[in-house]
Amino acid sequence: MVASIEDVARLAGVSIATVSRALRGLPDVATATRDRVFAAADELDYIASPFAARLASGRAATVGVVVPFVNRWFFAEVIDTVETALRKAGFDLLLYNLGDEAGRDRFFDVMPMRKRVDAVLVASLVLSDEEFDALASLGSPVALLGLERPGFLSVRIDDIQGAYQAVEHLLALGHQRIGLIGGDTDDPMRFTPPLHRRDGYRDALRDAGRAADPAAEVLGYFTTDGGSAAAEALLALPDRPTALFAESDEMAYGALRTIRRHNLRVPEDIAVIGFDDQAIAELMDLSTIRQPVAEQAVDITARLLAAIDGDIERTNVVLPTELVVRGSTDVTHSVY
Amino acid sequence: MVASIEDVARLAGVSIATVSRALRGLPDVATATRDRVFAAADELDYIASPFAARLASGRAATVGVVVPFVNRWFFAEVIDTVETALRKAGFDLLLYNLGDEAGRDRFFDVMPMRKRVDAVLVASLVLSDEEFDALASLGSPVALLGLERPGFLSVRIDDIQGAYQAVEHLLALGHQRIGLIGGDTDDPMRFTPPLHRRDGYRDALRDAGRAADPAAEVLGYFTTDGGSAAAEALLALPDRPTALFAESDEMAYGALRTIRRHNLRVPEDIAVIGFDDQAIAELMDLSTIRQPVAEQAVDITARLLAAIDGDIERTNVVLPTELVVRGSTDVTHSVY
DNA sequence: GCGCTGAGCGGTAGCGTTTACAGGCCACCA
DNA sequence: TGGTGGCCTGTAAACGCTACCGCTCAGCGC
């Protein structure tokens, strides 16, 4: 049926050990021998059985990637980039999609990646101490994308600073009353941004000498519909805000919809700024805070692979965000 | 270090063969024995080494999923659903993200999933005969999502019929001149819809007694920007269309942007209908043709798993599309 | 009492690699 | 000429399971 290493060895006239060494590019193989081995492998269309190799070597040549969802912009982007980077390095990507709370519990209960990955990459999940312990107990390098924890590799943006930028921008435009559409900091699927982005919002207001107003902070649950409903509530306030900061672009879209339904103009009546800079933010002419997703993914993947190779550095990288001004806050930037 | 099957056997006072049988739920194990084995495995926190098991059994317990991108709505949705279904069945999901043409060529050249999956799921790629052969030569079941080929398992929608529905809807609204924003049928990353959706468009016009007008068919390349540019070209036509059918929602978004920039009203001046019904289509108040993505993914995954178990049925399933009327074609449906 | 049956279990030969470890060979030097 | 060290190569023991085969023994029918 399919060729095994022995067939190659026979055809090349060497031992299987030499075949193994030659094919993997190890030293101590004469050039002529190596060529013969490659020729034989080629002729037989041979590739090594990964399972046998992994069993014998103890290396899985696989990285587990854990995400709460794959069908959301941020995570899809991460998976896309990480897969490409891993493939280039000769690693397989084993995907773990938590999905919901039950899936999350099951995952941390069973630890299904045990004995099958060399390293783990966790994307934007707020983890409990027990969950961190569970990951650490794998004994493999663990990398965090979108959050930080001593002892773990990580990359993230400064959510506080990003949110601060957004609110600062609105303040600079002269807005006096700025509403917040936020995420639920107690969500069981808790991903990381909500906490910090809200803090950035509050910090910016405080630094501008504004008093915090709990009524102006409404939950949008990081969904479009949630953002829509939140905007509804904010528009109904006696002292209506003139600007809204949504902790994600998705929620900002919902807010825009609501505002349009109320026949209010953006940004003249109400300005809106989001966070993330998804591809369609430009389409919606939405001002936002851009975070570099691919860069984060590339950075953490490279360092995770280094960690597999024994690099013991456990650094935490923070990449900058960038204010992107469009028509939803500044009419002079409008593309329409 | 970590427990092996021998440790469990010793602790339970049985042979490793019995441990293996007990843990895998095979028959020929007394209940009392099984309980002892489970207790021992539990105490030692033992799980079988997947690589050893796969080497010995020849089963990979893994399905390869091949996609051209992961950061596009359709594919992200597919991966999300398939991962969940596979995990439930005890299978791992090995992701292969082609990315671009170079990646695609490399993939079909190397066939990196050789010897490491029990089956392959290919999502919405138009494949050449050679590529089909390459897949078939794996000797494992191959499932196609979004296209059809004799001898392969498949599930898809009827793109022709869906496009027909869209154009029919526009005709019923009284539109005389209907433009098409299409995909490039020669794109090297060729995914499947462009061909068929254009055919459906043409069929509908023909059946209505309209002559085909090549000038009214413009390429939008299945991107928002492409759709935007295509709409620009269509608006510049001497005999401007009163309605546009975009072969994907993404292109429809671009068209909406262009139309808004020209200060034209939707749908009064120009009606727009898309295809797919992505989550944000509702947000954009875009009429469209809904295709059931999760249903397709669930269906094909189930049948692919059955094929791994020896089911030799190679059926092709076609799921229905549905016209979703919103404000972009029918003002009475507008949510604004 | 006997043979038959089948449930329950153990022994063990693979599965296809990797990786010590042990040489063999040859050039080079004293 | 003998010794030494560097290349190169082969031998064989893991790696941790699965699956086949065969054994034991209780229960059963006759």
Within 10 angstroms of residue A318's Cβ, the number of other Cβ atoms is 14
Q: How confident is the model at residue A317 (pLDDT cuts 50, 70, 90)?
A: very high
Q: How confident is the model at residue B52 (pLDDT cuts 50, 70, 90)?
A: very high
Question: Quick check: A79 contacting B, CB < 8 Å?
Answer: yes
Task: For A23-76, write each residue's pLDDT tens digit.
Answer: 999 988 899 999 999 999 999 999 999 999 999 999 999 999 999 999 989 999
Lookup: tokens for B115: 């010897």
Q: Which of B84, B94, B97 to mutate to test the interface with A (most CBs of A within 10 A)?
A: B97
Q: Which of B2, B51, B272 to mutate to test the interface with A (most CBs of A within 10 A)?
A: B51
| pLDDT higher than threshold 80 for residue A305 | yes
> Do the bridges between strand A316-319 and strand A153-157 make them parallel or antiparallel, or are there none, so unpaired?
parallel
CB contact under 8 A, B83 and A77: no
C-alpha to C-alpha distances, A293 to A156, A297, B88, B275, nearest whole angstrom: 9, 6, 30, 28
Give the pLDDT of residue A283. 84
Q: What is the pTM of this model?
A: 0.93
Give the pLDDT of residue A336. 66
Lookup: tokens for B220: 């939008």
Judge if the beta carbon of A6 is closer than 7 A to nucleic acid strand C: yes
Give the pLDDT of residue B67. 96
Question: Quick check: B69 contacting A, CB < 8 Å?
Answer: yes
CA dihedral A31, A35, A36, A40 (to 10 degrees): 150
Angle between helices A293-308 and A73-88 (to 10 degrees): 40
Q: In this prediction, what percent of chain A has a pLDDT beyond 70? A: 97
Within 10 angstroms of residue A263's Cβ, the number of other Cβ atoms is 8
What is the C-alpha to C-alpha distance for residues B160 and B199, in angstroms, rounded to an integer?
A: 6
Nucleotides of D under 7 A from a protein CB: 7-12, 14-20
Asked if B320 contacts B158 with a C-beta cutoff of 8 angstroms, the reply is yes
| pLDDT higher than threshold 70 for residue B235 | yes
For residue A111, give the chain B residue with the closest CA.
B47
Q: What is the mean pLDDT of residues B291-301?
A: 98
Give the DSSP H or E segment for A330: none
C-alpha to C-alpha distances, A265 to A171, A249, A261, A294, nearest whole angstrom: 19, 18, 10, 34
**C1' (C6) to CA (B61) span, angstroms:** 32
**C1' (C21) to CA (A54) span, angstroms:** 22
Q: What is the mean pLDDT of residues A244-255?
A: 96
* Cβ neighbourhood burial of A191 (10 Å; 0-12, 13-18, 19+): buried
Q: What is the mean pLDDT of residues A93-101?
A: 95
Closest-CA residue to B103 (of A178, A81, A18, A74): A81
Give the pLDDT of residue B211. 85
Lookup: tokens for A191: 């991903």
At A249 the three-state DSSP class reads helix
Q: Which of residues 19-48 of A touch strand D (CB under 7 A)?
A: 21, 27-30, 32-33
Which residues touch B31 (CB under 8 Å, ≥6 apart)?
none
B-chain CB neighbours of A94 within 8 Å are: 92-94
Closest-CA residue to A329 (of A170, A156, A205, A194): A170
Task: Using only the alpha carbons of chain B, give its radius of gyration.
Answer: 25
Residue A65: beta bridge partners? A95, A121
CB contact under 8 A, A99 and B115: no
Judge if the beta carbon of A61 is closer than 7 A to nucleic acid strand C: no
Q: What is the mean pLDDT of residues A4-30?
A: 93
Residue nearest to nucleotide D15 (CA to C1'): A56
* DSSP notation for B115-174: TT-SEEEEES----HHHHHHHHTT-S-EEEES---TTSEEEEE-HHHHHHHHHHHHHHTT
A-chain CB neighbours of B283 within 8 Å are: 224, 253-254, 257
| pLDDT higher than threshold 70 for residue B1 | no
Nucleotides of C under 7 A from a protein CB: 7-12, 14-20
CB contact under 8 A, B99 and A84: yes
**C1' (C5) to CA (B28) span, angstroms:** 15
Closest-CA residue to B70 (of A162, A128, A74): A74
Q: What is the mean pLDDT of residues A246-261?
A: 94
At B30 the three-state DSSP class reads coil
**C1' (D25) to CA (B28) span, angstroms:** 15
Question: Quick check: A80 contacting B, CB < 8 Å?
Answer: yes
Give the pLDDT of residue A192. 66
Judge if the beta carbon of A185 is closer than 7 A to nucleic acid strand C: no
From the CA of A123, how many Å to the nearest CA of chain B? Answer: 15
| pLDDT higher than threshold 70 for residue B227 | yes
Q: How confident is the model at residue A193 (pLDDT cuts 50, 70, 90)?
A: confident
| pLDDT higher than threshold 70 for residue B116 | yes
Lookup: tokens for B125: 């790629």
Asked if B123 contacts B67 with a C-beta cutoff of 8 angstroms, the reply is yes
Residue B197: beta bridge partners? none
Rounded to the nearest integer, the mean pLDDT of chain A is 93
Closest-CA residue to A166 (of A296, A291, A257): A291
C-alpha to C-alpha distances, A4 to A16, A88, A289, B111, B161, nearest whole angstrom: 10, 25, 54, 17, 49
| pLDDT higher than threshold 80 for residue B245 | yes
Task: For B150-167, write each residue's pLDDT tens digit.
Answer: 889 999 999 999 999 999
What is the C-alpha to C-alpha distance for residues B255 and B232, in angstroms, rounded to an integer?
A: 8
Q: What is the mean pLDDT of residues A166-191?
A: 87
Give the closest nucleotide to B55 (alpha carbon vs C1'). C15
**C1' (C13) to CA (B57) span, angstroms:** 14
Angle between helices B249-261 and B224-235 (to 10 degrees): 50
Task: Using only the alpha carbons of chain A, give its radius of gyration.
Answer: 25
| pLDDT higher than threshold 80 for residue A335 | no
Residue nearest to nucleotide C9 (CA to C1'): B18
